Amino acid sequence: MQKIRKAIFPVAGLGTRFLPATKASPKEMMAVVDKPLVQYAVEEAIAAGVEEIYFVTSNAKRAIEDHFDKNYELEAKLEEKGKKRILSQVRNLVPSHVSIAYVRQHEALGLGHAVLCAKQLIGDEPFAILLADDLIDGGDQPCLKQMVDVYKQTGAGILAVQQVERSQTDQYGIVDVDSTHQIQKIVEKPKPEQAPSNLGVVGRYILPSKIFELLEKTQSGSGGEIQLTDAIAELIKTDPVIAHPFTGVRYDCGSKLGFLKANLEYGIKHPEFGDEWLAYLKARLCG
């Protein structure tokens, strides 16, 4: 069985749900406490064994490239001031065995199209996809690591899923599964009355490279975009794809409320000032 070594990070989306904050800054660069969303997702991928990271980006997302690049001026200043701890954090965002490359999506034609832009970089091996605006706190078992473990047992495609509110099925890819969690049906953003279940796909996927030939044939679907979900609907006709109800908490950081919740919770867990933050919250709520 081939190892999951490569991951695609589609980051070319416009972030319209988070305007005006995302007018000039990528939504993936918004910080939860002190790290941008994209860094949490990159760390999750690395913890799952990923060694090659491919961002599918656009002209408005240069800050992401800068974040993972070396910043000589900043490093020199931190060195001069003796700020060793923060210097080491800035320097070692990714370990040396991990490589990062970028490919441009020239038109915003949808998630499926974004994934297709990385076809040549993935080649003929199974790979992961991570949507950084879904921040998932899996504790000591990060979500993608859990999925890689299921992949190792089954060799199947794996999608992370969770129960969503019936009224919100039109915000997700919705799956119908059999008793072994194998996906029997998948629909992009169905209306509540048409949804096959309330099991929604969140932004973590492990897929075989066959998905690329299916994406090439995929016509525009929901929202007039080329949808990854529609290519997966074709894939399940021939290949097993399993829905993994992951352990952990997912924050929809593409939404303002989800982002606030993430900041509150990650603030409480922060090693430096978590206790002080919690004390503040308690005083604020009781006072």
Cβ 204 to ligand G1P shortest distance, Å: 9
28 touches ligand G1P by CB under 6 A: no
Burial class (CB in 10 A: 0-12, 13-18, 19+), 284: exposed
Taking CB under 6 A as the binding criterion, the range among 116-124, 198-206, 240-248, 279-287 that sits at the site for ligand G1P is 198-206
Residue 244, token pair as written in the block:
């993994």
- Alpha-helical (H) ranges within 218-255 are 228-235
Among 148, 197, 229, 267, binds ligand G1P (CB under 6 A): 229
Name the residue nearer to ligand G1P (CB basis): 209 or 222: 222
Q: Is the bond preceding 36 in cis, omega lying within 30 degrees of 0?
A: no
Q: What is the DSSP letter of 218?
A: P
Distance CA 35, CA 22 (A): 16
**Residues recorded for the chain:** 287
Give the three-class secondary structure for 40: helix
Cβ 99 to ligand G1P shortest distance, Å: 26
188 touches ligand G1P by CB under 6 A: yes
Name the residue nearer to ligand G1P (CB basis): 28 or 188: 188
Cα-based angle 234, 236, 240 (whole degrees, multiple of 5): 155
Cβ 196 to ligand G1P shortest distance, Å: 13
- Alpha-helical (H) ranges within the chain are 37-47, 62-68, 72-80, 84-91, 111-116, 119-122, 143-154, 210-217, 228-235, 256-269, 274-286
Taking CB under 6 A as the binding criterion, the range among 119-127, 136-144, 225-233, 235-243 that sits at the site for ligand G1P is 225-233
Among 203, 208, 221, 267, binds ligand G1P (CB under 6 A): 203
118 to 147, contacts with ligand G1P by CB under 6 A?
131, 134
55 touches ligand G1P by CB under 6 A: no
Cβ 133 to ligand G1P shortest distance, Å: 7
Cβ 67 to ligand G1P shortest distance, Å: 21
Site residue total, ligand G1P (CB under 6 A): 13
- State the residues that interact with ligand G1P by CB under 6 A: 111, 131, 134, 172-173, 188, 200-203, 227-229
